[in-house]
Amino acid sequence: MRTFNSLILATGLLACGSAHAGDLLQWQSNSLTYLWGKNFKVNPPTQQTFTFEHADGWKYGDNFLFIDRIGYQGKKDARNGGDTYYGEFTPRLSFGKIFDQNLSFGPIKDVLLALTYEFGEGDADSYLIGPGFDLDVPGFDYFQLNFYQRTTDGSRPGDNVWQITPVWAYTLPLGDSDVLIDGYMDWVVDNDENRRGTYHANLHFNPQVKYDLGKALKLGEKQLYVGFEYDYWKNKYGIESSSGFNTNQNTASFLVKVHF
């Protein structure tokens, strides 16, 4: 775990350094999102979420960070009270950029080392590491495919299980504006039984469908979006669904998103 933490820290320091060096930072994007939805499972059913997101590309890779502040609309979660937070930091190091080589072949544009640190209130820390690929998929703005091995801290199960995570964005023209469909899927493909218990295979599919309202109102494109986020999570948190405790989440949330 110490080795993984050191690698995450080193990558994060490089990323932070890139923000202060114009020759290293190639692009960046920041946004705030408001979400409101019902019918969530495991946690209280009605939730509102404020999300900060940061993404950038730099000389040796790319980074993605999001932090959610989740409120339960007056209800209390058994573990986290009336609200909680959750975030993920995902730095990726590009072998093509580091070695200044064209590593493209077939649909693959680049090969990367992908890492993710998941964090939140309570027993939430997880560490993921594995190979990542940038793919050239016709029509898509971008398409990433990351393969991770998961390791967890604390009392939660989930060590040494594999996760497949595609990430994508697709833009459709609509009248005088556009619809952006982007998101990710986390698919934990195997079960792991160890001294901490069983962490069940689970699949979290989480796309957003957003209309570029800023472009339609002549306020500037890719600045203001409205739409919804769909959230399907089979065996949420790796908890096996049963007749007595349904952990299969299938819901949608209204969203407003502002880029700056």
Share of the chain above pLDDT 70, in %: 87
Q: Select the more confidently predicted residue: 4 or 178.
A: 178
Neighbours of 122 (CB within 10 A): 12
Q: Is 131 helix (H, G, I), strand (E, B) or coil?
A: strand
Dihedral pair phi/psi, residue 96, rounded to 5°: -65, -45
Distances (CA, A) of 70 to 7, 94, 122, 202, 253: 29, 33, 14, 22, 13
Domain limits for position 150: 2-259
Average pLDDT over residues 74-81: 82
Q: What tokens appear for 193 in the block?
A: 């039984």
pLDDT at 233 over 80: yes
pLDDT at 19 over 50: no
Distances (CA, A) of 145 to 111, 150, 155, 172, 219: 10, 16, 29, 22, 34
**Band (1; pLDDT cuts 50, 70, 90):** low
Task: Answer for the pair 187, 165: CB distance below 8 angstroms, yes or no.
Answer: yes
Contacts (Cβ under 8 Å, ≥6 apart) of 240: 198, 200, 247
Structural domain tally of the chain? 1
**Mean pLDDT for all residues in the chain:** 90
Look at phi and psi of residue 72 and say left if phi exceeds 0, alpha if psi is from -120 to 50, else beta: alpha
How long a stretch of residues is the chain?
260
Contacts (Cβ under 8 Å, ≥6 apart) of 158: 126, 150, 151, 152, 188, 192, 196, 199, 238
pLDDT at 46 over 90: yes
* Residue pLDDT, tens place only, 91-149: 999 999 999 999 999 999 999 999 999 999 987 899 999 999 999 999 999 999 999 99
Please report, as a single letter, which amino acid is at residue 112: L
pLDDT at 162 over 70: yes
Domain of residue 164, CATH code: 2.40.230.20
